[in-house]
Structure 1
Amino acid sequence: MTTVLTAPAAPRTPQARLRWALADGWTVARRDLIHWLRNPAVIAYQLLWPLMMVLMFGYVFGSAMVVAGGGDYREFLMPGLFGQTMMFGVATTLTAVSTNASYGVTDRFRSMPMSPSAVVLGRSLSDLINSALELAILIGCGLAVGWRWNQGPVRALAAVGLLLLLRFALIWVGILVGLMIKPEAAAAAWAPLFPLTMVANTFVSPEQMPGWLGALAAWNPLSATVAACRELFGNPGLGGDSWAAQHPILLAVAWPLVIVAVFLPLSVRRYRRLDR
């Protein structure tokens, strides 16, 4: 006697397809989170990296830094480190996506009777959860060295929300690039991220840079999120005559939405056209 296994039919209504995508996406996200938990070296890196960054920039370089307009440098620094950590998450995303695509994991998912968007949705969910945990660790490090939010918990949570919004937007950049390159190239993804996070208001104010470089730094999407966080946290470092410097919260929302609008459909399209 032969048993024939048939794949379940895809849902037909929009509500059913949404439930299907969310359920399958969470399954993939759980798989990615379990894989992360079974790599103690990665966990140790995520625990130690924020601590090293705080100590190096807060105490080693911070003794020579001057905040434009006055104020404690560590108060100025921490929102910049929060934003830089969200930006560096791009390398984590594209490395994982590139590795899965190159070793056949993505193809195996695509052969299963699951929602077509579940793989990229699951990756975005797992990376956002990892980034939230990493941000919590970094906030704890900041509190340990004397950084504080000075505008109340509601505005502080709004700042954290903007940081995670930036990370969510950059996840789709990482997914698209990860689907386009090999793991060997993904290992070098950190190289372009350093200048992108340095030509910003991460460690110094754009007003202290040469004119042309300060203009680039002021309009960097990372600068918008960092400046908005400084405003919401009540930390020093606000100011500047440019339109970008005067409207950081607006830009901190607008930039991620533009990035998502561009890179999310490109990522989904690239995923659907793999090996074609």
Structure 2
Amino acid sequence: MSSAPRGTGGAAQSIRDSLVVAQRNLIRMSRIPEMVIFGLIQPIMFVVLFSYVFGGSMKIGDSTSSLAYREFLMAGIFAQTVTFATAGAGAGIADDMHKGLIDRFRSLPMARGAVLTGRTLADLVQTALTLFVLAIVALLVGWRIHEGLGKALAAFGLLLLLGYAFTWVGALIGLSVRTPEAATSGGLIWLFPVTFISNAFVDTDNMTPWLRHIAEWNPFSATVQACRELFGNPGVSQSDAWPMQNPVLASILWSLLIIVVFRTLAVRKYRNAAA
């Protein structure tokens, strides 16, 4: 069988093709508004449930104030929201594979990684919209930023970088399974331990030592810690672990590493996929 035609425009064509695919996916999302609506409902439910059900029983530092817990909580909820978008990304790519759309793209003279890059960029836009709405809800339940708008925007930038990194994990899962349902399940199975064995919802100082070390070196925890520092929220860990002492740098390095590794694996899987 002859190989699929290749584009010849180098980096410029790769960027152009990626943006075309991203536009296609954004138009598709706009025509199925329930995708966006359902994506918003879950994180809002987490905010309300954790804030009012657990808020009065959680100890943050020396305080058991429910308001202190809400401010502590929000960095974790933001990070959980951007990482849970991974399951949707994987399911979307698996659905395109199942319907044969990926095969049609592969037959075109497009840059090899453009289909996946375009898809992940579209998912990033949807994630940014979700974060914006979630931030408004957080403000309504009492969350505040205390370090200025510039640092807050930097925190949201770190969150989007982490979310974009994890969508490449979802892309690899979506290319590796046969159905969208399997991609959704596969995308959630590993996300729960990543998000809950972390500093997102509880202070890691209250964990057993071996579990605390895992949580402190969790890439997810680094981003949560960085956001708490940039937002000026309570619960910033005093751990001696390097990621907790240098959370902004650790967050960036972890996210870039995940992008490099999983984008490489996903593009390779895409190239080797049976036509």
Residue 39 (structure 2) pairs with residue 46 (structure 1): yes
Q: Partners of 1:133 and 1:163 in 2: how far apart?
A: 13
Contact 2:165–2:256, Cα closer than 8 Å, also in 1: yes
Deviations 1:206-249 (A, max 9, x none): 11111111111111110000000000000001123332322211
After superposition, residues 160-171 of structure 1 pair within 5 angstroms as 160-171=156-167
Q: Deviations over 1:159-210 (max 9, x none)?
A: 0111011111111111111111122311313233222211100100111111
1:105-254 correspondence runs (5 A): 105-183=101-179, 184-188=181-185, 189-243=187-241, 244-254=243-253
1-side partners of 2:165 and 2:264: how far apart?
A: 12
60-69 vs 151-160, which moves further: 60-69
Asked if 1 retains the 8 angstrom alpha-carbon contact of 2:5 and 2:108, the reply is no
- Opposite residue 210 of structure 1, the aligned amino acid is T
Task: State the SS of the aligned residue for 2:56.
Answer: helix
Indicate if the aligned counterparts of 1:151 and 1:232 stay in contact, CA closer than 8 A.
yes
Once the two structures are TM-superposed, the CA of residue 77 in structure 1 deviates from its matched residue by 0.4
In 2, distance between residues paired with 1:203 and 1:216? 15
Give the TM-score taking structure 2 as reference length: 0.91
- Relative distance call for 1:215 and 1:100 in structure 2 (3 A) is same
The amino acid that maps onto 1:150 is: H
Alignment partner, residue 266 of structure 2: 267
Identity %: 44
Moved more, 81-90 or 34-43: 34-43
Q: Decide whether aligned partners of structure 1 residues 10 and 39 sit closer, same or farther in structure 2, where only a CA change above 3 A counts.
A: closer
The 1-side partners of 2:228 and 2:30 are apart by 32
One-letter code aligned to 2:183: A
Q: What is the letter of the counterpart of residue 31 of structure 1?
A: R
Runs of 4+ in 1 over 4 A off after TM superposition: none
Q: Name the Cα RMSD after superposition.
A: 1.8
Q: Shift of residue 8 of structure 1?
A: 9.8
Q: Is this contact kept in 2: 1:50–1:141, CA < 8 A? A: no
CA distance in 1, matches of 2:256, 2:105: 28
